[in-house]
């Protein structure tokens, strides 16, 4: 697993250098900004939160006969709207500066909003993968890594599975056609690791299964 700072020149989008002989490009994709905003930056939850707080503010001011309820609530609503708009912009910028690549030998993640890095994860270093589906066929693919050489959770965020602080799991977030991509990943992983068996779904011990509703786990053993 080798992180590299992105060079000004890319041999191909998302790849800092040309692929070595014998390695082929299988898939490339980017996160959907709208889904990043909802599932990673929790924009929808914040909308409900601000709406609830505005309601509380209106009810509180209703007890003050001298209060200008409409003006106060409007100012608060404008401030809340600006916060939500900024957060939506951050999600768009995060998606714009991200590219995921699957080759016959590795997963490459070009990530970073301030300092861009390219993370190379050999398929031989991946011990498990979990798939979480979303609406319209989109979803996440989280990668469990082998060994003690782990990147920090904050270095990977938001391209990391939630609550994996001790062993951060890089995650392809909010990608289209997640089931098709997971099938491509599994085929590439099996070809790179022919000596290892793969079990799906219920055969994974409950302690190792992802705490995500509707998730599918691929456990390599």
Together in a domain, 186 and 84: no
Residue identified by tokens 């003006």 is: 71
| 140 domain residue, yes or no | yes
Q: What is the pLDDT of residues 12-67, one digit of tens each?
A: 677 878 888 889 999 999 999 999 999 999 999 999 999 999 999 999 998 888 88
Query: Structure pTM?
Result: 0.81
| 12 domain residue, yes or no | no
The greatest distance separating any two alpha carbons of the chain, rounded to the nearest whole angstrom, comes to 77
Domain count, the chain: 2
Q: Which residues contact 62 (CB under 8 A, 6 or more apart)?
A: 69
The CATH number given to whatever domain includes residue 165 is 2.30.29
pLDDT of residue 9: 55
Residue identified by tokens 């050999």 is: 122
DSSP secondary structure letter of residue 47 = H
Say how far apart CA 179 and CA 131 lie, in whole Å: 8
Together in a domain, 71 and 174: no
Q: Which of 166, 171, 151 is nearest to 212 (CA)?
A: 171
Residue 215: both structure tokens together: 């998730």
Nearest 5°: phi and psi at 193? -130, 65
Radius of gyration of the chain (CA): 21
pLDDT beneath 70, residues of the chain: 1-12, 149, 197-221
Give the domain range for residue 170. Answer: 2-7+23-31+98-220
CA angle 131, 133, 136 (to 5 degrees): 145
Together in a domain, 116 and 207: yes
Strand order in the sheet with 99-103: 2-5, 117-122, 106-111, 99-103, 25-29
pLDDT of residue 205: 33
| 16 domain residue, yes or no | no
| 145 domain residue, yes or no | yes
E strands, the chain, are 2-5, 25-29, 99-103, 106-111, 117-122, 126-133, 139-145, 171-175, 198-200, 215-220
Q: Which of 92, 74, 104, 90 is nearest to 31 (CA)?
A: 92
Residue 212: both structure tokens together: 């995500």
Residue 171, SS3?
strand
pLDDT of residue 10: 61
CA angle 208, 209, 213 (to 5 degrees): 155
Together in a domain, 134 and 203: yes
């Amino acid at each position: 697993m080798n992180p590299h700072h992105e060079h000004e020149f890319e041999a191909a989008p998302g790849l800092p250098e040309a692929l070595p002989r014998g390695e082929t490009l299988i898939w490339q994709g980017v996160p959907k900004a709208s889904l990043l905003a909802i599932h990673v930056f929790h924009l929808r939850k914040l909308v409900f939160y601000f709406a609830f707080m505005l309601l509380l503010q209106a009810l509180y001011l209703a007890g003050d006969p001298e209060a200008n309820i409409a003006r106060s609530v409007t100012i608060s609503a404008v401030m809340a709207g600006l916060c939500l708009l900024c957060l939506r912009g951050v999600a768009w910028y995060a998606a714009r500066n991200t590219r995921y690549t699957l080759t016959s030998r590795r997963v490459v993640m070009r990530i970073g909003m301030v300092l861009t890095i390219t993370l190379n994860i050999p398929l031989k270093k991946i011990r498990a993968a979990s798939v979480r589906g979303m609406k319209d066929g989109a979803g996440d693919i989280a990668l469990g890594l082998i060994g003690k050489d782990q990147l920090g959770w904050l270095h990977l965020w938001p391209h990391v599975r939630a609550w994996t602080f001790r062993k951060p799991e890089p995650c392809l977030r909010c990608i289209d056609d997640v089931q098709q991509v997971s099938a491509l990943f599994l085929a590439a992983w099996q070809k790179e690791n022919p000596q290892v068996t793969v079990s799906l779904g219920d055969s994974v011990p409950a302690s190792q299964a992802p705490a995500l509703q509707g998730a599918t786990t691929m456990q390599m053993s």
